[in-house]
Amino acid sequence: MNHTDRPIPSTLRLEHCERAPADWESWLAKASGASFAARAGFLETVERVWPRARVLYFTARRGERLAGGVCVAASVRLGLTWARSLPFGTYGGPMVSADDPDPASVRAALARAFEEWLSAERVAGGEVVQAPISSRLEREAGPDPAWSALASGITTGQTHVVDLTPGAEAIIAEMHRESRRVLRQAERWGVTIEEDAEALPAVHRFYLDQAKAWRGHRPYPLAFLEALVRHPSRFARLLVARRAGRVEAGILVLSGGGESFVWWSGAARSSRQSLSYPSLVRRAMECACSAGDARLNLGASGGLERLEHFKRSLGAAPRPFWVYHLRPRRDDWVYRVYAWLRAARRLRRSKLGPRDAVQLTS
């Protein structure tokens, strides 16, 4: 009897550690709920640019086989421990082997292990952003009950995902005529697109200029993005649009879990005329198909209807995701003072009015 014929053990063995298991990266490639944010390249970069954070890996195994996992970045601020899975607005949440016979039990076991750690560390709060689930039935079932029990509240978000199964040419051929015209316009303006990590500083300057309109947004430092694009795994690639030799726009595409994610971007105002950005997304789609990825994630849209329409025009379909806001595991005077200060800050922000703009990618 070979390895694949052996019965899968029903019992789960739970562990947590500060280093990725040896089989972590290979397992992520086909795990349900996995994304680029769980890859070693991203987590190593987080620890490098955010030295106060420590990354923990919670795993569940059936025998020696990895059945599930979840990552968390823990940090201490004002004497309080906070947990985020994962930071920078990325997906975290429980991941399960695509062929596991009982994925719900794996997610529940990971939630129990996480709860034990949260209580032992007296975590003051944080959040878990669960990646969109591949299974339609599980998506329709809503937030996971075991992980919902960890939270004081749950926020539902929406991202747009292109199914790459038909291939880039077939997807583009099925687009509306106007959408195809938009994709061709950049070519008529002489826009060229290529991968170029050296152009990151220029794209970052465009991004900083755009971010001035995103109230409450903390721009990603250039050093963080540079560490991503220079990681030896090459899971992060910067696609750059140029016109007449000058950089007009760029998008950072991160890959993991069978998915490419258009995660970050920067664009000059002149790019609106040449429509460079849609052509960058098209190239990201072509690259993802060539790499064998099953999906292209275009991110959340912040409720902007025009942006959602643009993504739908490229063949993207909406997918829900859930944010579990962790309830506090402590209630001493330190936490109460912090909670009071946070409430006062929120009240002050509310008097300023709603955000007049949001970051267009997540």
pLDDT per residue as tens digits for the range 57-95: 999 999 999 999 999 999 998 889 999 988 887 888 999
pLDDT per residue as tens digits for the range 175-230: 888 888 888 888 888 999 999 999 999 999 999 999 888 877 888 999 999 999 99
Q: Is 29 exposed, middle or buried (0-12, 13-18, 19+ CB in 10 A)?
A: middle
The residue behind tokens 């899971």 is 235
- Crossing angle (nearest 10°) for helices 200-211 and 222-229: 140
pLDDT per residue as tens digits for the range 243-287: 999 999 999 999 998 999 999 999 999 888 888 999 999 999 999
The residue behind tokens 């399960």 is 96
Choose the most confident range, by mean pLDDT, from 51-55, 136-140, 338-342.
51-55
Q: Which residue has the higher pLDDT, 1 or 336?
A: 336
Q: Model's pTM, two decimal places?
A: 0.85
DSSP secondary structure letter of residue 21 = -
Rounded to whole angstroms, the Cα distance separating 267 from 85 reads 29
Please give the full DSSP string across 201-226, using - where no structure is assigned. Answer: HHHHHHHHHHHTTSTT--PPPHHHHH
- Residue ranges with strand state E in 8-64: 13-17, 31-32, 54-62
pLDDT per residue as tens digits for the range 122-172: 999 999 999 887 667 677 778 999 999 999 999 999 999 999 999 999 999
Choose the most confident range, by mean pLDDT, from 35-44, 147-156, 307-316.
147-156
Which domains are assigned to the chain? 9-159+321-351 (3.40.630.30), 163-320 (3.40.630.30)
Q: Is the peptide bond prior to 352 cis by the omega test (within 30 degrees of 0)? A: no
